[in-house]
């Protein structure tokens, strides 16, 4: 159980101490490490952009279907040391989401998708965790029938500090099952930056992008799509860190979904402009 | 008969070929992170001690405070966010003592829990 906060004091940020500090194996190594971390961040972002670019090069026959929405998310995660100290490296990830859009013209915002996710992870280090998980996504888009998608997936997540904030990389490989058909295999690559502001470290700028690629055609179930670029989610917003274990994130998210059929001329994309609100909770 | 290549079936060889670099990468990251996180713990200790001292001056009603780190560890708090450093700092002064749990994120954002 989380202990109650008695009181909280914030220490004013101080200038970086690169020169004053003895550093991790010396200042040069530390600077190099920060540079390396930044390089990894930038190269990953560049890779995602390059991978997505060919699919996003809009030709004249490209049609974009716009929609507005609201996504909510609650994520809780922590280790199992409460059960046994020997399980302190085992982590549990629980998540729920509710998604709403304006696809129904006779009402304003309607629920169209939910998501429940659970996963068990092993913390290889304090920053690197591997996961095995399950996701259930009930979906009922306006004018279409109900679909319940079930996914199983491994994932790997790495968190590292940089000079501009904390960066999270996450890679998931989903096997997606819908109506008992052949599974669709989809990779998801996420990169996320949280940059705390100097004037108020509890307030932070949050930027993330997640690119989805189908690795196979599931021709007997077009709901799962064709191989290639599937969708991209990009977020820009603010975070508020209440304490070590509770953080809120609120901002704008764009979801660009590839709805094209490679056997038909032209491309169709669905662009959802959504307000996204998330709460992240942790326990130790 | 399954096709074999050497001791193991060809499929297993491919798996080993994939697992070997992954295992090596995992070991390398483990070694890197352990050293890096030790460094981060040492780096954040100073601001944690400064905060503990500031609190103790009031709580112990004493201006000559000494601090000592009792423990320090990395903690992954709220998910998909930064890794924090948790310290237990003992403060002593004017014949009194008090321990503080100080949590630090980033280079200087330290809070008392």
**Inter-chain CB proximity B107 and A17 less than 8 Å:** yes
Of the candidates A15, A73, A52, the one whose C-alpha atom is nearest the C-alpha of residue A191 is A52
DSSP A85: G
Q: Does residue A172 lie within any of the structural domains?
A: yes
Q: How many CB atoms lie within 10 A of CB A50?
A: 9
**Inter-chain CB proximity B113 and A196 less than 8 Å:** no
Question: CA B92 to CA B94: how far, in whole Å?
Answer: 7
Confidence class for position B4, pLDDT limits 50, 70, 90: low
pLDDT 10s digits, B42-56: 888 899 999 999 999
B17 exposure class (CB count in 10 Å sphere: 0-12, 13-18, 19+)? exposed
For residue A118, the enclosing domain spans: 27-283
pLDDT 10s digits, B74-96: 888 899 999 899 999 999 999 99
Q: Does residue B74 lie within any of the structural domains?
A: yes
Q: Does residue A88 lie within any of the structural domains?
A: yes
Degrees to nearest 5, angle at CA A31 with A30 and A35: 115
Instruction: Among B35, B40, B78, select the one facing A280 at the smallest CB separation.
Output: B78
Q: Does residue A4 lie within any of the structural domains?
A: no
pLDDT 10s digits, A98-112: 999 988 888 788 999
Q: Does residue A221 lie within any of the structural domains?
A: yes
CATH of the domain at A188: 2.40.160.40
Total number of domains in chain B: 1
Residue A225 and residue A214 in contact, taking contact as beta carbons nearer than 8 Å: yes
Q: Does residue A8 lie within any of the structural domains?
A: no
Contacts of B75 in chain A (CB under 8 A): 126, 244, 284
Of the candidates A17, A253, A60, the one whose C-alpha atom is nearest the C-alpha of residue B42 is A17
Min Cα separation B103/chain A (Å): 7
Q: Does residue B72 lie within any of the structural domains?
A: yes
Question: CA A92 to CA A109: how far, in whole Å?
Answer: 32
Mutation for testing the B interface, residue in A2, A34, A91, A125 having most B CBs under 10 Å? A125
For residue B25, the enclosing domain spans: 8-112
The confidence score (pLDDT) of residue B20 equals 82
Q: Does residue A118 lie within any of the structural domains?
A: yes
Contacts of B30 in chain A (CB under 8 A): 124-125, 128
What ipTM does the predicted assembly reach? 0.76
Element (H, E) at A260: none
Residue A86 has pLDDT above 50, yes or no: yes
Question: CA A143 to CA B39: how far, in whole Å?
Answer: 57
Total number of domains in chain A: 1
* Length of chain A counted residue by residue: 284
Question: CA A128 to CA A147: how far, in whole Å?
Answer: 34
Contacts of A241 in chain B (CB under 8 A): 78, 81, 105
pLDDT 10s digits, A242-279: 999 999 999 999 999 998 888 888 889 999 999 999 99
Q: Does residue A156 lie within any of the structural domains?
A: yes
**Inter-chain CB proximity A241 and B36 less than 8 Å:** no
- What dihedral angle (degrees, nearest 10) is formed by the CA atoms of A178, A179, A180, A184? -20
Mean pLDDT, all residues of chain A: 82
Q: Which of A119-133, A195-209, B37-51 is predicted least confidently?
A: B37-51
Instruction: Among B26, B29, B109, select the one facing A11 at the smallest CB separation.
Output: B109
Instruction: Among B80, B83, B112, select the one facing A7 at the smallest CB separation.
Output: B112
Chain B residue with minimum CA distance to A4? B113
Q: Does residue A63 lie within any of the structural domains?
A: yes
């Amino acid at each position: 159980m989380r202990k109650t906060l008695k009181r909280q004091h914030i220490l004013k940020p101080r200038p970086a101490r690169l020169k004053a500090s003895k550093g991790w194996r010396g200042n040069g190594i530390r600077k190099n490490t920060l540079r390396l971390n930044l390089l990894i961040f930038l190269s990953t972002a560049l890779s995602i952009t390059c991978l997505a670019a060919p699919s996003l090069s809009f030709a004249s026959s490209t049609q974009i279907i716009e929609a507005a929405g609201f996504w909510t998310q609650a994520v809780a995660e922590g280790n199992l040391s409460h059960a046994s100290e020997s399980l302190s490296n085992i982590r549990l990830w629980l998540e729920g989401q509710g998604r709403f859009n304006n696809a129904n013209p006779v009402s304003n915002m309607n629920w169209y998708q939910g998501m429940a996710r659970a996963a068990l992870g092993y913390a290889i280090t304090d920053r690197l965790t591997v996961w095995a998980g399950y996701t259930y996504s009930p979906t009922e888009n306006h004018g279409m029938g109900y679909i319940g998608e079930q996914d199983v997936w491994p994932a790997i997540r790495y968190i590292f500090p940089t000079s501009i904030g904390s960066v999270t990389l996450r890679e998931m490989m989903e096997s997606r099952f819908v109506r008992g058909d052949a599974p669709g295999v989809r990779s998801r690559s996420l990169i996320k930056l949280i940059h705390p502001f100097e004037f108020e470290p509890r307030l932070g700028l949050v930027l993330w992008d997640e690119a989805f690629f189908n690795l196979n055609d599931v021709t007997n179930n077009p709901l799962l799509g064709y191989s290639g670029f599937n969708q991209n989610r990009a977020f820009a917003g603010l975070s508020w860190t209440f304490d070590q274990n509770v953080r809120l994130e609120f901002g704008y998210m764009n979801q660009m979904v590839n709805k094209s059929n490679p056997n038909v001329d032209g491309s169709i994309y669905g662009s959802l402009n959504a307000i996204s609100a998330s709460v992240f909770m942790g326990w130790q | 008969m399954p096709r074999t290549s050497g001791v193991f079936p060809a499929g297993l060889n491919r798996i080993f070929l994939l697992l070997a670099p992954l295992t090596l990468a995992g070991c390398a990251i483990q070694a890197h992170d352990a050293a890096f996180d030790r460094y981060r713990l040492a780096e954040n200790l100073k601001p944690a001690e400064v905060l503990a001292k500031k609190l103790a001056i009031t709580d112990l009603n004493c201006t000559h405070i000494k601090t000592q780190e009792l423990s320090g560890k990395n903690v992954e708090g709220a998910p998909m966010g930064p890794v924090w450093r948790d310290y237990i700092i003992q403060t002593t002064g004017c014949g009194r003592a008090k321990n503080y749990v100080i949590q630090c994120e980033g280079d200087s954002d330290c809070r008392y829990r």
